[in-house]
Amino acid sequence: MSHASTAVQERPTPPGGHGAPKSALTSRSLPRLAPVGFAAVAIALSVGISTAAGWHSKVQWGMIAALLFLAISYVATTVVENKRQAKDRLATSVVWVCFLIAIIPLVSLLWTTISRGAERLDGYFLTHSMAGVLGSEASGGVYHALIGTLEQVGIATVISAPLGLLTAVYLVEYGKGSLAKAVTFFVDVMTGIPSIVAGLFILSIMLIFEIQPSGLMGALALTILMIPVVVRSTEEMLKLVPNELREASLALGIPKWRTILKVVLPTAIGGITTGVMLAIARIAGETAPIILLVFGSQLINTNPFSGAQSSLPFYIYEQYKVGEAASYDRAWAAALVLIAFVMILNLVARGIARWKAPKTGR
Amino acid sequence: MAKRIDISGLTAYYGSHKAIEDISMTVEPRSVTAFIGPSGCGKSTFLRTLNRMHEVTPGGRVEGKVLLDDENLYASNVDPVTVRRTVGMVFQRPNPFPTMSIFDNVAAGLRLNGSYRKSELNDVVEKSLRGANLWNEVKDRLNKPGSGLSGGQQQRLCIARAIAVEPQVLLMDEPCSALDPISTLAIEDLIGELKERFTIVIVTHNMQQAARVSDRTAFFNLAAVGKPGRLIEIDETERIFSNPSVQATEDYISGRFG
Ligand SMILES: Nc1ncnc2c1ncn2[C@@H]1O[C@H](COP(=O)(O)OP(=O)(O)OP(=O)(O)O)[C@@H](O)[C@H]1O
Ligand SMILES: [Mg+2]
């Protein structure tokens, strides 16, 4: 007993010259909202210093504020609490500062696109094509490009989702030896193919067989880009399925293919869907293959198998090149449509992932 | 219809690592045979060779013979899937299918094999859950996910799932190692009932359990660290626990081991 109490009294006092706290387990601490206060002080100081020194760059202001914030919170915590807490707070602050730096471009991009795109985005814009509209005229719309994107991306998905899925199933469940290694290697290589190269590859085939540009050709190039992404993400998801589930199923006398179909895939389906959606989001923004293979058009062409089509990224590029105020507005509005398309896909993917996730509720 | 298992000269490998060597024994029908022995001596490995689950592990390889009523499981024209329907297995850690409800978990073996009549399914599920002593606890929530049960309930769910396909032999790898005494007792009672119909092999680290539930006990050991595991002896459980013929067995059982 006496031993324990001396031990408590011998506890080193925290640096800063304050007496030992009354209890060994509680110590003085800063209020919970202290970091907000530090941030306010840091920003105020940085504005003060910068105006006094006559610096104008807002980036500089921000950097000074961030550094001041780190310094102030470290010093204040050292004084009031102790060294360990101060280090903890420093690490937390660094994480926060990095997070803010990382989301600044994202927020600014979203903000610019939404504020500039909203000017033209309305029902008329979504339901009309550019047929007979001059570049400088403030009418016309994105309908033909939207149709093109939906059809090309749709075809690409219909081809690459099953192919990618089956490849991943092969790699995880069956693949061993040199064939699996070769497939993995080529998937890796394909992941790195620039979209223009995929476009040129299809173009060379078109030239050899004298095929005319069409939405299908663009979709084929997109397929080349999409397959490796689907394979990779599906592979990761399948590897996450515990081996015990496979064994449990096999031990019931269920054949391997049914085990994969009824136990492994359903367990991973949420993650697989997310992966496919992300792959769709990636190819929806591709421009180069569309320029080469689909050719672009001002008119509505709902048939992806013959004739030129447009697509959202191509439309943005085209409108930007016109160089008129009205066409810039259309480009921004189309960019907003594209972002919204990707966003909706993401939300759908999350919804499916949550709906299909293995349930643990009691 | 329970079956006798005759094992002769069985050796199993993981890649180039020989895990068990030259095991021969007979498992009697309609009885409980317990496997005991120190950790790592190959009890699980041996158990998994009895329904051809060993070859599921990458690199897994088996030499020797396992006769199930005179039919060699390792003959070249034998389909491992059929073997596993005849010889069921319960694993050490409960592993219900997370995407399936309690009902679907029990029905999985029948459904995924495609050989059932719809009208039977309800009866089979109820019978299996009753057989596993779980029916009263889950009858009101058969459509809830199986992973929402407690560990012990999950293990009994796995037993229900295994007996739903009516195997002739049931292999259990430390089925009670994660359970409380009451669930353990429930499972031991269950084993006592199941042995009327099935041949049961159970791996356990619990000597009292082996003494309580089994008719015959096999003791496995390693000759030395890094050497493959071997069968030291197999005999009536009473003899093994009172008067074993090998000194090592007595040392292990009385805790004077290593
Ligand atoms: N998947 C595996 N790959 C390689 N070696 C393995 C594998 N599983 C088991 N082994 C090896 O085989 C030997 C026997 O293992 P096994 O799991 O059969 O022991 P056990 O008697 O069941 O032990 P425990 O009582 O701890 O469950 C051990 O040396 C182990 O390292
Ligand atoms: Mg084991």
Q: Kindly state whether residue B146 falls inside one of the protein's structural domains.
A: no
Q: Looking at this predicted complex, what is its ipTM?
A: 0.91
Q: Kindly state whether residue B160 falls inside one of the protein's structural domains.
A: no
User: Which of B96, B113, B144 lies nearest to residue A254, judging by beta carbons?
Assistant: B113
Give A187-207 as a DSSP string: HHHHHT--HHHHHHHHHHHHH
Cα distance from N-terminal residue to C-terminal residue, chain B:
41
pLDDT, residue A160, reads 96
pLDDT, residue B257, reads 60
Q: For chain B, which ranges sit under pLDDT 70?
A: 1, 115, 257-258
Over residues A2-15, the pLDDT tens digits come to: 454 444 444 454 44
Q: What's the gap between Cα B176 and its chain centre?
A: 11
Full domain range(s) for residue B21: 3-99+167-252
Q: How far apart are the CA of B230 and the centre of ligand 2, in A?
A: 15
pLDDT, residue B13, reads 95
Give all domains of chain A, ordered by start, each with its CATH number: 30-119 (no CATH), 143-355 (1.10.3720.10)
Q: Kindly state whether residue B211 falls inside one of the protein's structural domains.
A: yes
Would you state the structure tokens that stand for residue A108, as one six-digit string? 């600014």
**Which secondary structure element, helix H or strand E, spans residue B203, and what is its range?**
strand B199-203
Would you state the structure tokens that stand for residue B83, as one six-digit string? 């073997």
Q: Kindly state whether residue B71 falls inside one of the protein's structural domains.
A: yes
Q: Kindly state whether residue B206 falls inside one of the protein's structural domains.
A: yes
Nearest CA among B80, B77, B50, B79 for reference residue B65:
B50
Query: Which residue type does B124 have?
Result: V
Over residues A88-93, mean pLDDT: 88
Would you state the structure tokens that stand for residue B257, as one six-digit string? 């081991």
Cα separation, A218 vs A301, in Å, equals 14
Helices of type H across A82-214: 83-117, 123-127, 143-169, 178-191, 195-209
Residue in chain B closest to A177 (alpha carbons) equals B58
**Residues of chain A with C-beta less than 8 angstroms from the C-beta of B82:** 253
Over residues A169-226, the pLDDT tens digits come to: 999 999 888 999 999 999 999 999 999 999 999 999 999 999 999 999 999 999 999 9
The total domain count for chain B is 1
Residues with CB under 6 A from ligand 1: B 14, 17, 19, 39-45, 57
Average pLDDT, chain A: 87
Most A CBs within 10 Å, among B73, B79, B97, B99, to test the A interface = B99
pLDDT, residue A358, reads 67
Of the candidate ranges A31-40, A104-113, B4-13, B166-175, the one whose mean pLDDT is the lowest: A31-40
Over residues A306-345, the pLDDT tens digits come to: 889 999 999 999 999 998 999 999 999 999 999 999 999 8
Q: Kindly state whether residue B63 falls inside one of the protein's structural domains.
A: yes
**Residues of chain B with C-beta less than 8 angstroms from the C-beta of A244:** 91, 93, 95
**Which secondary structure element, helix H or strand E, spans residue B9, and what is its range?**
strand B5-14
Q: How many angstroms away from the CA of B89 is the closest CA of chain A?
A: 6
Q: Kindly state whether residue B131 falls inside one of the protein's structural domains.
A: no
pLDDT, residue A16, reads 46
Single pTM value for the model: 0.82
> The CATH number of the domain where B238 resides is what?
3.40.50.300
Say whether pLDDT at A119 is over 90. no
Cα separation, B85 vs A16, in Å, equals 73
Cα separation, A74 vs A78, in Å, equals 6
B79 Rama class: left (phi>0) / alpha (psi -120 to 50) / beta: beta
How many contacts (CB atoms, under 8 Å) link A and B?
90
Question: What band does A17 get if pLDDT is binned at 50, 70 and 90?
Answer: very low
Interface of B with A (CB under 8 A): 51, 53, 56, 58, 81-86, 88-89, 91, 93, 95-99, 108-109, 112-113, 144-145, 147-148, 158, 161-162, 165
Q: Kindly state whether residue B199 falls inside one of the protein's structural domains.
A: yes
User: Which of B84, B91, B145 lies nearest to residue A361, judging by beta carbons?
Assistant: B145
pLDDT, residue A22, reads 56
Would you state the structure tokens that stand for residue A22, as one six-digit string? 């009354």
Residue in chain A closest to B111 (alpha carbons) equals A254
